[in-house]
Every structure is written in C-alpha cells, then in structure tokens.
Amino acid sequence: MNNILVTGANGQLGSEFREFEQAYPVYNFYFKGSKELDITNHIAVNNFVKSTNISVIINCAAYTAVDKAESDIELSSKLNHFAVENLAKIAKVRSIKLIHISTDYVFNGTNHIPYTESDNTNPQSVYGNTKLGGEQAMQKIAPTNSIIIRTSWVYSSFGKNFVKTMLRLASEKKELGVIVDQVGTPTYARDLAKAILNIIPKLENKDIEVYHFSNIGVCSWYDFAKAIFTYKEIDIKVNAIETSQYPTVAKRPFYSVLNKNRIEKKFQIEIPNWRDSLKECLQKL
C-alpha cells in the first residue's frame, strides 16, 4: 500500500484529497496541517515519514497571501522555499516520491501564448520569487520519481477563493467591478487532486520534471465572475475594470495561461473545461 503524506492538508487542495480518500483504497493517507507537522523542521518530518513508512509526499503547503508576502518575506521564504528544500532532502535520502505544487507566478505574465514548462521564469513578486526558490531547490536536490506541478487561479468548495468571494459580495452588493485585463485559466482543486492521484503510480523519472495543470480554456477575472453569477442565476451588475483601477501591493501577471500538453500526453489524463468544472463546484456550494 502507498502511504501518502499530504501537507497543507487544511487548504483547498489538501481538503480535496480528503474527499478522495474513500475512492482510492489503494492509498493510505496522512493529512497534516502546519500545526500538526512543521515541514520546515527536518527532524520532525524525517521522524514522521520514517515511523509511518511514507512512500509519497504531496506538498500542498504554501504561503499564498500574495500581497502580504511583499512585507512578510521571511515567512514566505520559509514556507515556499526552505520547506520544499527540506522535503526534497528527505525524499532524496528515503527514496520517497515528492509532488510539489507551484504556481504561474514564477512567470512575468507578459506572454501572448500559453506558457510551456521550458519558458524562462521571471517572477514579479515576493510570492513568485519564493515559489521559484522552492522549485530550484527541489531541482538541485533531485529526489527520484518526483515532479513539480505549476497551477493557476485555484478555487474549491473549501477555503477562501475567488468563487466564494464573488458569491459573498453578490449577497452584499448590487454592483461589482471585476478586472478584465488579467487573463488566465481557473483550476478546480478537485480536478488537480484527481489528476495527481492518477499520476502517482506512473511516476518514473531520475531528474525533476515540471508540468503545468489548470482546467482547459481561457478567461479573464471578469469572464470568470460573469460565469459564476450566470450559473447561480444571480442578478447583479458586473463592470469590467482595468488593473490600474484596482491597485494591489504585489504585481499580478497579466497573462497566466498554462500549456497542459505535456501532462496530458505523459500521463494520459483528460482535463475538463473550466466552465464544466465551475458548474460542478457551484453545485457542491
């Protein structure tokens, strides 16, 4: 049996893995949040994976407060960079598969065609820089049968995310302004979790491989919001605004579309369209 450690277990993606626990009896899951296991503590993590005979680590843990990270560089680096380095060292020594979740923020967001895994990285924020640091540390240590999956615009029926924020605001306001000049693809965390569980038995690589995963299709945040309200039959006026009208502390990528060809072909997975997955999530909500 595969004993799987899921870090960041209380976040959106970690919570989705819990939902699949009964559907995948071949896996024995250990779910750990930050208060239960400090993934920056080498001794604590090493002792845990040894005592439970962990064979796979899925690292969903991250510092994801993009704006706050600009002033909280130390904690962002600790969770997004050094924790990944720690997990990679343990995975290397103990021959554990490590699947690390990264982000589209490692790019500068100026492309006009979907980003491939081989495109040059150039993060524009502390969050992006620290996530790239984690990727580079893992690639340098290179535990076998381990991969990095970059994703974007993650949402779920769990935790805080754009979908739930829009539904909350719609209950409070009659009119909203949503950014129209940032383009990407939403990712339903449930789809990503399912893909990872199907990928695990197929992992066989010496050097770290990088893959992209989001749902299929392209939209702006404005399009995303409009779809949410349409599917929920919510009558609200949505105004398209530009990024300049809604300044944030951290710089956001204008273009975050990821090319998924590599992960689809390598692991023979089918990725749903973002609209279909949004409908599924909204039904759960």
- Tokens 């559907």 found at: 23
For residue 148, give the 3-state DSSP assignment: strand
Q: Which of the following is catalytic: 127, 188, 211, 255?
A: 127
d(CA 169, CA 232): 13
CB-CB contact of 185 with 155 (8 Å): no
Burial class (CB in 10 A: 0-12, 13-18, 19+), 239: exposed
Catalytic (active site) residue 127: yes
The one-letter code for the residue type at 180 is V
How many angstroms separate the Cα of 98 from the Cα of each of 2, 135, 137, 208, 217?
13, 12, 13, 10, 28
Q: Strands, DSSP E only, in the chain?
A: 2-7, 27-32, 56-59, 97-103, 147-151, 154-155, 175-179, 183-184, 187-188, 209-212, 219-220, 237-241
For β-strands 27-32 and 2-7, DSSP reports them as parallel
Active centre residues (catalytic)? 127
